[in-house]
Amino acid sequence: MLPPRVEIGDSVIFQKLNDEAVLLNMSNQQYFGLNDTGARMWDLLVTLGDTSEVVSRMEQDYAVPVDTLTADLEALVQELLDAGLLRQSSTI
């Protein structure tokens, strides 16, 4: 299940490279590379924080069913949470 809000984790740096992104958690040295779609999801997650809004924006950008987008975002968010690259946010 997607958390309602997320934010960038502590000690995380990221660099966009063309349409892709590289993420690094400096505290645990977890490295993560994202393709163009994953980089777009990352950008929206960091910018918006609201996961339901990210799904809505992705639905506008890609011709993919909302269930597929939600499942893909959920998998990415969980991996990023596990790696400490994102954390759940209580900010409204």
Q: Residue 33: inside a domain, yes or no?
A: yes
Distances 87 to 4, 27, 79 between C-alpha atoms, Å:
11, 14, 11
User: Using CB atoms within 10 A of its CB, is residue 51 exposed (0-12), middle (13-18) or buried (19+)?
Assistant: buried
In a domain, 1, yes or no: no
With respect to residue 56, please indicate whether it lies within any of the assigned structural domains: yes
Q: What tens digit of pLDDT does each residue of 38-64 get?
A: 999 999 999 999 999 999 999 999 989
Would residue 18 count as lying in a domain? yes
Query: What's the pLDDT tens digit per position in 6-29?
Result: 999 989 999 999 989 999 999 999
Band of pLDDT at residue 90, cut at 50, 70 and 90: confident
Domain extent for 82:
6-87
- 92 domain residue, yes or no: no
Count the domains in the chain.
Answer: 1
Residue 59 lies in a domain: yes
